Amino acid sequence: MLFPKDSVLARTVSLPDDSARDVRLETQLLHYDGIDWKGYSYAWSPDQHDAELVPAAGRELDLADYGTFRTAATSTWRIHARTECQRCHNHWIGGPLAFLPAQLNRSVATNSGSMINQLHAFRDGGWLTGEVPDDPQSAASQAATLTDPGDETADIALRARSWLAANCSYCHQQHAGGTATIDLRHTLESAEMRLIGISPVQGTFDLDAAMLVSPGLPSDSVLMYRISTAGRGHMPHIGSATPDPRGISVVRDWIQSLEPRHAHPATATNDSIPVELATTSQALKWMLALHDNLLQATDRQRLLESARRAPPEISNLFERFQPAELRRRIRTTIDPAGVLAVAGNANAGRDMFFDKRMQCAVCHRIGTQGGAVGPALDDVGKRQTREEILASLLEPSKKIDPKFATWIAQTKDGKVHSGLLISRDEQQIVIRNARAENTTLNADDVEELQPQAISLMPEKQLNDLSDADIASLLEFLSQQKSLPEQ
C-alpha cells in the first residue's frame, strides 16, 4: 500500500482490570514523513483523562497505579523505545504491519447492521484507490485474506500459516532485514517457506534431531520451542515477552499434521514424569502435556518442581505455569549503568563465554578455542572500552563491522543462503553460515546478493542473566588484550 506524506496510523492498547473495565495504557502512533515511518508512544494517565508523549528510550508503567490486575501475566507494562519500533516498522517492510490489504480483507458491520468487506468499505468511502478485487475473499497475492487461527472449522495449515504471518512474517521474509532465511508469508507455497525439514543455522537449543519444523514432531521443532519459551530464546524478540497459548496450540497441531519423516518416539505419559528434565525435547513434550491440561494435580506439581531445578533453556518453557510467587522475573531491558557498577568475576565470565548454552564460542574465538564466524576476541579489551563491549553485547546490530555484516544470497533455483560474505569474484561467491560452514556458489547462478542491517549475533542473549553474571562476562572480555592467533 502507498500512503501520502504525513499519514498517521494510531492504535490504543488497553488491558481489562479485575472488574472487566478496559484501562487504556498507551496509544501508539506511526507517522509517515514521506520517506520513513516513525513510531511514537503516548502513555495514558491513571485517571484516563490524558496521555503524554513517552521519551525516546521508552517507559515502564506500574499496573498497580492503574487498578487491580490480579489475572495479568505481569505487574508492569513496558512501552517500547522508538529504536525498537523501527526494528519491525522499518523501510524494508514498508512501515505498517497491520494496516495492510490481507489484514483489512475481512467483513465488518455497517451502521445499518449489514455486512460489507472492509476493503470495499474503504474504497467506497474514498480512503482507498487502485485495484480492489471484486471478490477480495478469493483474492491472491497481497490481498489474500488471513484465516482466523481460532476458527476450528478451518484448515489447520491455513490457521497456522495465518498466525505465523501475523506474528512473525514481518521479520521473516525476503528483504525484511533479518538474518534467518525462512519466509513466513501466508501466500507462499510450503516449499518456499524454507522451513519444513530444514536444519537450523542459529541454535538448536539441544533439541533431539532438531529441524526448524520437524514434520509430525513438535518436540524436535525449533519453531515450536521459539514460540513456547519465555526469556532469551523467545520469538518474536520485540513486542512479545509471553507465549501465546492459542498460537502454541495451532502451530503444534499443524506440525503434527505434517507427514513425519521418521518414527515418532514415545509420547509423554502421566506415569513417567522425570525427576530431572534431561533434554529440551523431553521438556517440550511435557510442556505440551501441561499446555493441554493432561496432568493430574500431583503430577503437575512434580513436573513444575523439576522445571524449577532445570537450566533456563528448559525452565523457561514452564515459566507461565509456575505459581506467581515462584516465577522468575524475565527481564525485558538491561540497564548498562547498573551492569557497569557491578564488579565482575573474570573466571565466572570465562565459564559463561565457553558454555555452549550461551553460544558465544560458537561464533567467536579466543586463543585456539571458538568459532570463526564473528570477530576474534583475543584483543577486544584493548580495542574497546568496557562501555563499548557492553553496548555491542546489548545491541549487536547497532554497529556492525562491514567484514562481519550478514549477506543473503538467493540463487536462480530459489535457494537462499545467509551468512558472512567470505569472497566474491566473477566466477564464484562464498557464504559462511552461523555454523562456520562455507557454501560456494557459482556467480552466474546467484540472482540476488544483498547485505542485511541485522547482525548474525542474536539480540537479547543476556536477558536470562543477572547484572552480576553480565558483569562477569564483561570483566572476562575486558581482560582480553593479546593479539589474535593467526
Do 315 and 383 belong together in one domain? no
- pLDDT (0 to 100) of residue 448: 85
Mean pLDDT of the chain: 87
In whole angstroms, what is the distance from residue 201 CA to residue 27 CA?
Answer: 37
Residues 472 and 344 in one domain: yes
Of 274, 305, 328, the one marking the end of a domain is 328
Tens-place pLDDT, residues 421-450: 999 999 999 998 877 788 999 999 998 888
| Residue 172 lies inside a defined structural domain of this protein | no
Q: Minimal CA–CA distance to 472: which of 377, 357, 340, 378?
A: 340
Which of these three, 303, 328, 353, is where a domain ends? 328
Residues of the chain above pLDDT 70, percent: 94
More confident position, 282 or 324: 282
We report the CATH number of the domain holding residue 360 as 1.10.760.10
The answer to whether position 183 is within a domain reads no
Residue 300: pLDDT over 70? yes
Q: Over range 7-21, report the average pLDDT.
A: 95
Same domain, 202 and 306: yes
Is residue 234, in this structure, part of any structural domain at all?
Answer: yes
Q: Which of 285, 310, 328 corresponds to the end of one domain?
A: 328
Shared domain for 255 and 310, answered yes or no, is: yes
| pLDDT tens for each residue of 44-96 | 999 999 999 999 989 999 999 999 988 776 788 999 988 888 878 877 677 89
Q: Specify if 417 maps to a domain.
A: yes
Q: Are residues 208 and 295 in the same domain?
A: yes
The number of domains in the chain is: 4
pTM of the model: 0.77
User: Per the domain annotation, does 6 fall within a domain?
Assistant: yes
pLDDT of residue 396 exceeding 70: yes
Asked if residue 453 has pLDDT above 80, the reply is no
Q: Are residues 235 and 271 in the same domain?
A: yes
- Same-domain pairing of 383 and 474: yes
CA 49 to the chain's CA centroid:
34
Q: Which residues pair with 52 in a beta bridge?
A: 43
Q: At what angle do helices 156-167 and 245-257 cross, to 10 degrees?
A: 130
Residues 261 and 346 in one domain: no
Say yes or no: 304 and 390 in one domain: no
Q: How confident is the model at residue 321 (pLDDT cuts 50, 70, 90)?
A: very high
Which of 169-183, 254-268, 340-354 tops mean pLDDT?
340-354
Give, as one character, the DSSP assignment of residue 281.
Answer: H
H or E element, residue 115: strand 115-117
Does 350 map to a domain?
Answer: yes
Residue 351 maps to a domain: yes
Alpha carbons 425 and 419: distance in angstroms, whole number: 17
For residue 293, the enclosing domain spans: 196-328
Q: Do both 216 and 281 map to the same domain?
A: yes
Paired strand residues for 53: 42
pLDDT at 6: 96
The segment with the largest mean pLDDT, out of 8-12, 31-35, 126-130, 444-448, is 8-12
User: Which of 174-178, 320-324, 419-423, 464-468 is predicted with the least confidence, judged by mean pLDDT?
Assistant: 174-178
Q: With CA atoms as reference, report the closest residue to 161 among 178, 145, 177, 138.
A: 145
